[in-house]
A and B are shown apart, each in its own frame.
Chain A
Amino acid sequence: MTWIKKLKTSLKAYLFLAPFLAVFSAMVIYPIGSGVQLSMYGQRGARMWYIGWENYQRILSDSLFWNSFKVPLFLLLVQVPLMLILAVIISFMFETRKNGGALYRFIYYLPYTIPGIVSGLVWSYIFSDSMSPLRPILDAIGYGSLLTRENVPGILLVMILWQFTGYTAFIMYSSLIAIPREYAEAAQLDGAAHWQIALRIKLPLLKDPLITLFIFNAIGAMQIFNEPWMLRDLVVLPTNYTPTMYIYNSAFAQGRFTYAAAMGIILAVLTCLVSLYVLRTASKLILDRHS
């Protein structure tokens, strides 16, 4: 009886999966479910009443919510590609070193180990008026305050690049050393220069990890919160500066929890769609290449 055997195997599998499934459903599935449920209610203080999709309808026409995507979009289009390019360059530089430049890899990786809140605090000091170490230079060229609202996207760019470029290069490097040595050797025998090997042979082979990293960083950009949150003490940022800030402020500062829950669901769906889109176009590219 094969089906009994099958059942036994799957039972066994679920037994092993049980600890994970229990935590996963309690900590992920259940909160998402109750988030969806909450988003269907109107709320004022402790009073709640069912309103169906009304929150979602209101969000569709809430310009504050849609305007909050400007910063994530900027990061998605500028910071993410820029960081990937930098990371690729750095990973190639690791590769040229003996042992992959272990010391440099360590140094580049370090910023990633510092919690975003802590580095955000330090960065906010670096850009502040009275403590900035850049102040003498800025005074010399007659530049006023660094922390104006116009400069904030640029400052976010610097903060995120500083924190994540080394980490990304690190991952890139591990993919790089996984590429069989023979490819490079063959190319070398054919007379390819060092940069040609890197650009023409190795870079195309890095496509898969690059796509994965792009998706991760795209999600990070959509959900950006810590960095702008830490700058709030030094420059006034609108409550809807980023989608997550708007969700947080709506819930905890204004007490509109159900409305915030609905926005959270929409943001999750949008993030999911962006990832899926990238993944699909990417896998198409890979399929094309293979065929």
Chain B
Amino acid sequence: MKRIFVAFLVMLLLCMPAAAANYYPEYTGEPTTITMWAWTSNENYSIEEFEKVYPNIKVEWEDFGVHYEKAQTALAAGTGLPDVLMVEYSFAPQYMDLGAFQPINEWLPEDVFVELYGEQALGWSSLDGVIYGTPQDSGAITFFYRQDLFEEYDLEVPVTWDDFATQARKFRQARPDLVFNGPPLGYALWWVGLVWQSGVKMFDYHDGNWYIDFTNPGAEKVFEFWGELIDEGTIDVEMWWNADWYNSLNQGTTATVLNGAWFAEWLRYNAPDSAGQWRVMAPPNFDPSKPHNGMLGGSGFYVTEHSKNPEAAAIFVNWLNSHPDSLLCLNKYSNLPVMVSNRYEEVLDEIVIEDDFFGGQVIVDTLWNAHNLIDTTFVGLPIWSNLDSALSLLLQDYVDGKIERFADILPLWEEEVVATMKEFGYFNTIVGEMP
């Protein structure tokens, strides 16, 4: 009996490192240095931890801000990309399709990937079963609202989109000079994200074909909903990310914002005067008995085609985005909602704290809840920059009075996107249906 027990213990001991080694294989190559471009803050803490575990791999992190233009240039030049490139999930398919990344299945097989990051994340990290990188933060859509304004004007936190519309109208009547919610003028990610949040999608990729269907009933419903509020003047579309917008968030002239979970950190740094006033909630739903969520932003770390040491790079991106030690650092120093990895749960207990900026709310809980409501996924179109600028122009046309009904933007947008797909040589595009 004792011997069996000891044997069992030995087996257990043998199995445990084996399981861990499966996630993070041993590095077999020569001592090396790999480079990484990323615009998130304080990635160095994770890198330090990583270098302790893998002393033969050194990581040089460079931050150029959003580096897409630099990356496009290096890609066209055929040289100059770092080993590891941070790219937003929405832009990743464009880079995959251009051949910017190289496969890492050898060091991170699909079954391990799914175990670590879940099935959905495959849509942002792979194409045709070839894995190119790992996902870092969550862009789970979150409803940010000003507690002070909600109290002052007796508003309720909306559970359904109908509630949202009611509160928006009430607020407009009470304070026509303030903004209840200003959807972005452009920023396709937001509009695609809200369609995703309602449980449907506008495009996808399957078996070598791109599918485009902007005018499906689900997407139309979302655009009709916002269109009604915008057409009647209850809310207005606004330019985001400029000085006017920063001011409105900082000074309390905007009551609510719908944005990705990462925006909590963004608010903290860019709207310091509003400390203590903001709260977060999962976004409203059309049918609260069947809540969904989608993502708005979030980024992955991909191993580039120019990497001379894909093994080291692959080991690094996997460790960086899934190992609890790294997740803790990313959460603690970069304040990132690194919730995509399934191992996030292992560190959850350590990071559930009250957040003073959000008036003492434990926002990690709320964000985690919002993240777990994501139940669909899809692959973004490989022409994201064009998709984005086409929508911006249509929205500006609407603001300038050239388009009368807001919801009419949707079919016009589809037309533009389909034309661009053709122009760029994607003849494998199927319009009007989903796989």
Task: Point out residues on A near B: beta carbons under 8 Å.
Answer: 43-47, 124-125, 128-131, 148-150, 233-236, 238-239, 249, 251-255, 257
Contacts and interface: CB of A to CB of B under 8 A. Distances in A.
A151 to B, nearest CB: 11
A249 B390 CA distance: 13
Interface in B381-435: 383, 385-386, 389, 392-393, 395-396, 399-400, 424-425
Nearest to A255: B72
B305 interface: yes
Contacts of B41: none
Given A130-B243, A233-B239, A234-B244, A46 B305 contact: yes
A235 B76 contact: no
Interface in B228-246: 239, 241-244
B270 interface: no
Interface of B: 68-69, 72-73, 75-78, 97-100, 185-186, 239, 241-244, 247-248, 305, 383, 385-386, 389, 392-393, 395-396, 399-400, 424-425
A252 B69 contact: yes
B396 A255 contact: no
Contacts of B386: 254
A148 B400 contact: yes
Contact of B239 (A47, A234, A239, A253): A234
B385 A254 contact: yes
Contacts of A45: 75-76, 97-100
A236 B396 contact: yes
B72 A252 contact: yes
Contact of A253 (B98, B186, B385): B385
Nearest to A238: B393
Contacts of A44: 98, 424-425
Given A43-B76, A45-B76, A255-B72, A128 B393 contact: no
Contacts, number: 78
Contacts of A149: 396, 400
B244 A130 contact: yes
B54 to A, nearest CB: 29
A47 B399 CA distance: 40
A46 B76 contact: yes
Contacts of A130: 243-244, 247-248
Given A43-B76, A46-B76, A255-B75, A233 B100 contact: no
Contacts of B78: 46
A236 B99 contact: no
B72 A131 contact: no
A238 B244 CA distance: 21
Nearest to A38: B76
Nearest to A46: B78
A47 B77 CA distance: 9
B190 to A, nearest CB: 14
A234 B242 contact: yes
B242 to A, nearest CB: 4
Contacts of B248: 130
B68 to A, nearest CB: 8
Given A149-B400, A236-B396, A255-B98, A128 B76 contact: no
Q: Which of B98, B244, B305 has the most CB of A within 10 A?
A: B244
A233 B385 CA distance: 16
